């Protein structure tokens, strides 16, 4: 803290700007460009009730893919404007403050992570200036790491909790299937179901992640969907007694296969459909067997964590308890430096990551 | 009553037998054959606690298509065995009774129509012998027609009531869309939503039925889906404020289009998918935009009326009240004679019917 640059009126920063929309496929450097800027952070420049932050960590999540496609899509997310800096969740250190609640050196995170659409985010940059009312100070004595605020206690953890507890409503002994299970949301969804006494099986995209789910997270079983030529056969094998809850992170063919293995009154929290995010509408895989949802009286229910903010305090209490008792584990996939943003974003669609993807913007600054 | 034939020990009957399964397309006389039989109805032949019935009316419903395909399908209905007589709901007159609760001349219907799978049906025949414990006597003084027991108070009415009231949960002012709205279930689903103060629009397959929905049933609007080249455009026109409840009787492309027009927290009771019943699995139309169900937090919920039998008495009370007050109207499409069974069944998929399809097995026998 208190390094020389923070005494300056101007800092050299890099920031990621949306140069053109990316309607399908993976975004490239044609769409997202990094640029250098000199950011004015003098006291006479920063507005009242704003702070200047040096970013320490930034969160990289799949929904980011859907805010740079240039059209309304299924999540109805507002699109990033062209030539604007992309925003996300993060952890930052205050380098200048024009708000009485914050001092230089405070570590801050975004407050209630469900309200992603309503509040300004942290910019995908080395430094940014943002309103202080969108921040929460991290208590260094609470025994919670700053990464937890981006993961288990952040959007992924809250999303998993809402979907599993409030949409899925697991009961001891039920059979629970989680897709993209080694991803940020999936790893918490599966662990929460285990804590309720369910039998939990996850699908993921590499053998290493299969091992991670079984050995590190305590899933009852897991499989590499890329090695399964027929999802129906795989689900018959892993769910001889059928599926009671399917926490759907992928959509498409896996959802269709699951509908052939659902038990009566199964619940399917629709959380994400990452298999479809890079597809244009007409190329998306249709689900042809919704008729099964009638015969087995299945409920498919889409949800957004942001609509359950009235439950955020309950979530925080429960999840912090689990974390302190060591009952919920987290794994992070760390990318280094703000320059890794594009790579880390496209990596979300490549099976190459384990756990929550985080950019370590500044290595040497975290307390 | 007391006609000569009923004094006989043997009656000449015709019955419909499943000759071969019909996996796709419309069933034909290759699959369903009518045969003549001499049915023994002497007191020494009928088992105790059974009655012999002369059938007066029989109910023809879309699910019948799914019990002659020869494989498990999405509704998980047990298949008719080959060379067995097809069964359905009906109204009959007792011609012989070996049960103290029934006398010759009693008019009877099937009791709790949701338990279709558990109890014996009336055979699709001129006469049949069945257990008395599966019957309910019609009270001729109650002011309810015997057709009502097959329609508004039967499987179609109960299905509409469960789906609209308990899955859809309509609130005054909401926008409700019903597909196959001039069909047996659809006409009640729409009227029940109107009674809750909703704005109701139906889709159907002919201009005459559009007129029927608007002028006879009081729908706020209706359209002929066969004249719409683009369902998205049609739904934009008929639902400028979006759709809060979609009572889905058809599945496929219409469900996909609806998912582009749903309001936040819309409910979609999945009742039937008649557009898909004649298709083999791989030819079925996939729903490609389930991602919209996440962004709008939509609940799609399959249901079977048979799982809500604990509500049958509530339903009966409410629906009988509406019928007696003239608040629920019924329309019947009558086919004459047991020989019309195959024609009436295939007609369900042709848009040619208005209202509940009923076979008038015997014209001159109803009280």
* CATH number of the domain bearing residue A145: 3.90.180.10
Q: Per-residue pLDDT tens for A53-89?
A: 999 999 999 889 988 999 877 777 789 999 999 999 8
Pick from A140-154, A205-219, B106-120: least confident? B106-120
Tell me what the mean pLDDT of segment B125-140 comes to. 88
Distance between B27 CA and the closest CA of chain A, angstroms: 20
* Vertex B93: Cα angle to B87 and B94 (nearest 5): 100
Encoded tokens for B205: 């397959």
B93 beta partners:
B54, B107
Say if residue A218 is in the same domain as residue A287: yes
Pick B270's closest partner by Cβ from A270, A282, A294. Answer: A294
CB proximity list for B133: less than 8 A, separation 6 or greater: B49
Query: Do the Cβ atoms of A272 and B294 come within 8 Å?
Result: yes
Closest CB to A296: pick one of B271, B299, B302.
B302
Residues B161 and B35 in one domain: no
Give the range with max mean pLDDT: B22-31, B134-143, B168-177: B168-177
> Do B146 and B13 reside in the same domain of the chain?
yes
Range of the domain at B137: 4-151+332-360
Give a yes or no: residue A78 inside a domain.
yes
Q: Which helix (H) or strand (E) holds A143?
A: none
Number of folded domains that form chain B? 2
Question: B51 pLDDT exceeds 90?
Answer: yes
pTM: 0.89
* Local structure of residue A205 (DSSP, 8 states): S
A302/B301 CB distance under 8 A: no
**Does the beta carbon of A286 lie under 8 angstroms from any beta carbon of chain B?**
yes
In a domain, A130, yes or no: yes
Regarding whether B255 and B161 lie in a shared domain, the answer is: yes
User: How far apart (Å, rounded) are the C-alpha atoms in residues B109 and B41?
Assistant: 19
Which of B79, B163, B294 to mutate against chain A (most A CBs within 10 Å)? B294
- Answer yes or no: are the C-beta atoms of B214 and B201 closer than 8 Å: no
Q: Which two tokens stand for residue B114?
A: 């949701």
- From the list A256, A293, A302, the residue facing B298 with the nearest CB is A302
pLDDT at residue A187 greater than cutoff 70: yes
C-alpha distances (whole Å) from B227 to each of A13, B29, B95, B167, B210 are 59, 31, 49, 30, 11
Domain-embedded: residue A18: yes
Q: Chain B within 8 Å of A287 (Cβ-Cβ)? A: yes
Q: How does pLDDT run across B297-334, given as a tens digit for each residue? A: 999 999 988 889 889 889 999 999 999 999 999 999 99
Residue B367 domain-assigned?
no
The alpha carbon of residue A268 is apart from the nearest alpha carbon of chain B, in Å, by 10
Average pLDDT, chain B: 90
CA pair distance A147, A346, nearest whole angstrom: 21
Q: Please indicate whether, in this complex, the C-beta atoms of B293 and A302 are within 8 angstroms of each other.
A: yes
A18-35 exposure pattern, b = at least 16 Cβ within 10 A, e = fewer:
bbeebeeebbeeebbebe
User: Which tokens in the block code for residue B123?
Assistant: 């055979």
Highest mean pLDDT among A308-312, A347-351, B205-209, B286-290: B205-209
pLDDT at residue B1, as a whole number: 43
A78 and A213 inside one domain: no
Residue A40 — pLDDT band, cuts 50, 70, 90? very high
Question: Residue A296 falls within a domain, yes or no?
Answer: yes
Distance of alpha carbon B108 from alpha carbon A245, whole angstroms:
43
A312 domain-assigned: no
Mean pLDDT of chain A: 90
Domain of residue B263, CATH code = 3.40.50.720
Residue A92, SS3 per DSSP: strand
B321 domain residue, yes or no: no
Same domain, residue pair A204 and A119: no
* A33 in contact with chain B, both atoms CB, cutoff 8 A: no
B137 shares its domain with B164: no
Instruction: Verify that A299 and A266 share a domain, yes or no.
Output: yes
- Residue A58: half-sphere exposure toward Cβ, Cα within 13 Å: 31
Distances in Å between the Cα of A280 and the Cα atoms of A253, A277, A362 are 16, 8, 36
Q: Please tell me which residue, B65 or B143, carries the higher pLDDT value.
A: B65
3-class state of residue A313 by DSSP: helix
- Kindly state whether residues B11 and B33 are assigned to the same domain: yes
Mean pLDDT throughout A201-224? 97
Q: ipTM > 0.90?
A: no
Across B104-119, average pLDDT? 67
- State how far Cα B64 lies from the chain centre: 9
Residues A146 and A161 in one domain: no
> Cβ separation of A307 and B299 shorter than 8 Å?
no
**DSSP bridge pairs for A202:** A178, A222
Those of residues 59-78 in A touching chain B at CB distance below 8 A are: 73-77
Is there a single domain that holds both residue B126 and residue B197?
A: no
CA distances from A52 to A93, A94, A147 (A): 8, 6, 20
Neighbours of B105 (CB within 10 A): 13
For A289, B24, B286, B336, the CA distances from B282, given in Å and listed in that order, are 9, 11, 9, 36
Residues pairing with B347 in the sheet: none
Domain shared by B126 and B138, yes or no? yes
User: Which residue in the set A73, A281, A291 is minimally distant from B273, CB to CB?
Assistant: A291
Whether B159 is covered by a domain: the verdict is yes
The three state secondary structure string of chain B is CCCHHHHCCEEEEEEEEECCCCCCCCCCCCCEEEEEEEEECCCCCCCCCEEEEEEEEEECCCHHHHCCCCCCCCCCCCCCCCCCECEECEEEEEEEECCCCCCCCCEEECCCHHHCCCCCCEECECEEEEEHHHCEECCCCCCCCHHHHHCCCCHHHHHHHHHHHHHHCCCCCCEEEECCCCEHHHHHHHHHHHHCCCEEEEEECCHHHHHHHHHHCCCCEEEEHHHCCCHHHHHHHHCCCCEEEEEECCCHHHHHHHCCCEEEEEEEEECCCHHHCCCCHHHCCCECCCHHHHHCCCEEEECCHHHHHHHHHHHHHHHHHHHHCCCCCCCEEEEECHHHHHHHHHHCCCCCCCEEEEEECCCCCCC
CA A238, distance to chain mean position in Å, is 27
The tens digit of pLDDT for each residue in B228-264 reads: 999 999 999 999 999 999 999 999 999 999 999 999 9
In terms of pLDDT, which residue wins out, A48 or B7?
Answer: A48
Cα-based distances in Å from A234 to A177, A240, A286: 12, 10, 20
Pick from B259, B265, B249: nearest CA to B303: B249
Does residue A254 belong to the interface with chain B, where contact is any CB pair within 8 Å? no
Residue A336 has pLDDT above 90, yes or no: yes
CA dihedral A58, A59, A65, A67 (to 10 degrees): -70
Please give, rounded to a whole number of angstroms, the shortest distance from the CA of A183 to a CA of chain B: 18
For residue range A81-127, list pLDDT tens digits in order. 999 999 998 999 999 999 999 999 999 987 655 444 445 479 999 99
The answer to whether B294 contacts A273, with C-beta atoms less than 8 Å apart, is yes
Q: Final residue of a domain: which of A291, A306, A321?
A: A306
């Amino acid at each position: 803290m208190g390094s020389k640059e923070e005494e300056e009126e101007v800092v050299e920063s890099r920031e990621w700007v949306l140069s053109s929309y990316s309607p399908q496929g993976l975004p490239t450097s044609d769409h997202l460009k990094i640029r250098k800027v000199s950011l004015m952070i003098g006291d006479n420049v920063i507005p009242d009730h704003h702070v200047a932050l040096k970013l320490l960590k930034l969160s990289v999540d799949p929904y980011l893919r859907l805010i740079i496609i240039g059209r309304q899509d299924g999540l109805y997310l507002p699109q990033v404007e062209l030539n604007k800096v992309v925003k996300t969740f993060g952890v930052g250190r205050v380098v200048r403050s024009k708000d009485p609640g914050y001092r230089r050196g405070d570590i801050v995170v975004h407050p209630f992570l469900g309200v992603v659409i309503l509040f300004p985010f942290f910019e995908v940059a080395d430094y940014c200036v943002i309103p202080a009312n969108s921040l929460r100070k991290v208590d260094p004595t609470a025994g919670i790491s700053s990464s937890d605020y981006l993961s288990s206690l952040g959007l992924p953890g809250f999303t998993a909790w809402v979907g599993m507890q409030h949409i899925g409503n697991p009961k001891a002994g039920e059979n629970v299937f989680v897709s993209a299970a080694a991803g940020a949301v999936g790893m918490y969804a599966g662990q929460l179901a285990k804590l309720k006494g369910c039998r939990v099986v996850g699908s993921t995209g590499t053998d290493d992640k299969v091992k991670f789910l079984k050995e590190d997270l305590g899933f009852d079983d897991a499989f590499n969907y890329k090695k399964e030529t027929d999802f129906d056969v795989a689900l018959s094998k892993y769910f001889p007694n059928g599926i009671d809850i399917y926490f759907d992170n992928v959509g498409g063919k896996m959802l269709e296969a699951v509908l052939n293995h659902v038990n009566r009154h199964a619940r399917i929290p629709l959380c994400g459909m990452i298999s479809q995010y890079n597809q244009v509408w007409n190329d998306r895989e249709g689900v042809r067997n919704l008729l099964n949802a009638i015969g087995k009286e299945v409920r498919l229910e889409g949800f957004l964590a942001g609509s359950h903010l009235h439950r955020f305090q309950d979530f925080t209490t429960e999840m912090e308890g689990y974390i302190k008792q060591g009952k919920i584990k987290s794994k992070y996939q760390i990318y280094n430096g703000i320059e890794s943003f594009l790579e880390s974003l496209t990596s979300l669609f490549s099976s190459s990551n384990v756990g929550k993807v985080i950019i370590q913007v500044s290595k040497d600054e975290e307390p």
